[in-house]
Structure 1
Amino acid sequence: MTDALPPLGSYLRDRRERLDPAAFGLPMTRRRTPGLRREEVAQRAHVSPTWYTWLEQGRGGAPSEVVLDRIATALLLTDVEREHLFLLAFGRPPERRATEGDVGVTPRLQRVLDALTLSPAIVKTPLWDVVAWNAAAAAVLTDYGQLAPEQRNIVRLIFCDPRVRAAQDDWESVARFVVATFRADAARAGDPAKAEALVRDISARSPEFEALWRNHEVLAFGEGIKRLRHPVVGVIGFEYSAFSVDGRPDLGLVVYQPMSAQDEEQVRRLLALREQQLI
């Protein structure tokens, strides 16, 4: 038998009926259906019982994000269940909620980076702060471990660090691409004040960034080709790809794959020199 309720209402009812009233100190007498009653969920979510009933039945207007979040809390939804609820209601996930453990990456993700021995790989935030990297990235791109956390910003390095600027095979093209893709990411950062402060700071240090920022171009990072001019081994070609990190929409993984056997050998040489502390 097909469920007559719309997907959102069906999901709400299913989650409601899975809850144990006894766990909330509610009486167990005269319950015709399992789980919590609609009015009990409504009371926990601080909404009208009538309105909540209409929501399950697919009647009335759509809920606000704040109210839907209260309902998710009332139903004791996990983060994955809460995301599914928002996808059913709005067709998109909720704004990410910061948690105490949100600094850096998990050990498992770091092991993934480390397994990419000849492919420089980094994890960055929407404001392009690098929060994790592997040995190949330290040898080929930037040794982020030698920088203070606030200095590990890719946009700042591209425009304000002479060494990083000199390493770009076509700096003007790279600069335009970086600003356009950074603009798209910064809009998703969820912290407009922090994004504006970063833009002001880099603009004050780099008139070129300020001019490009005024163009309002927007691009997706996606994938492409990057060539770096390393002072020791010369030009190295990479194919890069960007990935989202599951469960962490605030983080993005970027992997640079050497384009040829010669490019791989150049990366291998730089890793050996770094191991010997010669670079």
Structure 2
Amino acid sequence: MSTAIDLGAFLRTRRARLRPEDVALPDYGGRRRVAGLRREEIAQLAGVSVDYYIRMEQGRVRPSPAVLDALARALRLDEDETRHLHRLAQPRPTARHAPRPRPEQQQVRPMLRLLLEELRDVPAMVMGRRMDILAWNTAACALLGDYASLKPAERNIPRITFLDPASRHLYADWTACARENVAYLRLEAGRYPDDPQLTSLIGELSLKSEDFRRWWAEHPVQDKTSGTKRFHHPVVGDLALTYETLRAADDPSQALITYAAAPGTSSHDALRMLLAWAAPTATTAPHTTVGGRRGHEG
């Protein structure tokens, strides 16, 4: 993936979503040839020349952190988008002609595996690079599906979300979940622009999913943190669960994702019922298979 090309596309999509009134600029009327703000307007807001901004969009200059911060303010970028902009504009240097290191298979951190074993009543999984599913507990199988029935290469959140039709039935708002996956993959692409497995995943999803291809072109950027997901579960019906993403400070490439429901709610009762239904066929091992459905996670 070319960070120079991605930088230009990212800047253009962010210009396109702004209007003059959003940034306190006068709008003299008339039809604009392009959506959103013009290049000269962004240059004015960021305090740089129009020529310099054009060369930034073309990937022909390496702006300073101060210029990037000014540009982020001009484009009204949030924290995730601002960090992404810095990564695209100032990629890590690599030795010319140096062979690419063969990517190593991620191993689950021992403490995360221990937490999975302890969280018997909380659906939980460990997500690695590229949103790969590295490990899960029995409760996660009951809620999201049988990851053990998938080949290791298929245990990937966006691949399941976009390519398994059952995921569209599991999530009450599949579109929101799917778009979040695209936005997080964009973040990963900025972090690891030379990851061949990530490039292959993006190519596969672009080829096989029109939705993914369309949303990827919008250059969304969003980290995976916390929120609420609503499910249409085939066993217990509707649930609204809060998810949290927990990362170790010394290894942010792995995250523990948990799902829980507030006590006293119908979702809490439904989740307890689901875990009781799964219990007769489950063990406490973090890779146990429960049920015959394919795995899903958004």
- The Cα shift of 1:199 comes to 0.4
Percent identical residues: 34
Describe the superposition over 1:72-123 as per-residue Cα deviations: whole angstroms up to 9, x where unpaired.
xxxxxxxxxxxxxxxxxxxxxxxxxx99996431443212122222221111
Of 126-135 and 237-246, deviating more is 237-246
1:109 aligns with 2:112: yes
* Aligned counterpart in structure 2 of residue 133 of structure 1, from 115, 118, 136: 136
Describe the superposition over 1:142-164 as per-residue Cα deviations: whole angstroms up to 9, x where unpaired.
22122111111000111111112
Q: What is the root-mean-square deviation of aligned Cα atoms in Å?
A: 2.5
Q: Distance in 2 between matches of 1:154 and 1:242?
A: 14
- The Cα shift of 1:183 comes to 1.3
Could you tell me whether the CA contact under 8 Å between 1:189 and 1:250 is conserved in 2? no
Q: Distance in 1 between matches of 2:142 and 2:187?
A: 28
- Report the residue type matching 1:243 in the other structure: L
Q: Secondary structure at the match of 1:150?
A: helix
Per the normalisation by structure 2, the TM-score is: 0.56
- Report the residue type matching 1:200 in the other structure: G
What are the residue-to-residue correspondences of 1:68-87 with 2, within 5 Å?
A: none
Q: Distance in 2 between matches of 1:117 and 1:239?
A: 17
1:247 aligns with 2:254: no
Structure 2 spans left out of the alignment, 5+ residues:
1-100, 282-289, 292-298
- The Cα shift of 1:216 comes to 0.3
- Report the residue type matching 2:127 in the other structure: K
Q: Distance in 2 between matches of 1:195 and 1:117?
A: 32
* Aligned counterpart in structure 2 of residue 207 of structure 1, from 210, 222, 236: 210
Q: Distance in 1 between matches of 2:104 and 2:110?
A: 12
1:224 aligns with 2:227: yes
Q: Distance in 2 between matches of 1:146 and 1:160?
A: 16
Q: Secondary structure at the match of 2:247?
A: strand
Q: Distance in 2 between matches of 1:106 and 1:192?
A: 21
Query: Residues 130, 191 of structure 1: CA spacing in aligned structure 2 closer, same or farther, 3 A cutoff?
Result: farther
Q: Secondary structure at the match of 1:162?
A: coil
Per the normalisation by structure 1, the TM-score is: 0.59
Q: Distance in 2 between matches of 1:170 and 1:145?
A: 25
1:274 aligns with 2:271: no
- The Cα shift of 1:271 comes to 2.2
Could you tell me whether the CA contact under 8 Å between 1:104 and 1:132 is conserved in 2? no
Query: Residues 177, 101 of structure 1: CA spacing in aligned structure 2 closer, same or farther, 3 A cutoff?
Result: closer
Q: Distance in 2 between matches of 1:260 and 1:209?
A: 36
Query: Residues 208, 102 of structure 1: CA spacing in aligned structure 2 closer, same or farther, 3 A cutoff?
Result: closer
Could you tell me whether the CA contact under 8 Å between 1:118 and 1:258 is conserved in 2? no
1:194 aligns with 2:197: yes
Alignment length (residue pairs):
183
Structure 1 spans left out of the alignment, 5+ residues:
1-97
What does residue 147 of structure 2 align with? 144
Could you tell me whether the CA contact under 8 Å between 2:108 and 2:134 is conserved in 1? yes
Could you tell me whether the CA contact under 8 Å between 1:127 and 1:185 is conserved in 2? yes
- Report the residue type matching 1:161 in the other structure: D
Q: Distance in 1 between matches of 2:138 and 2:216?
A: 32
More contact order relative to length (CA 8 Å, sep ≥ 6): 2
- The Cα shift of 1:249 comes to 2.8
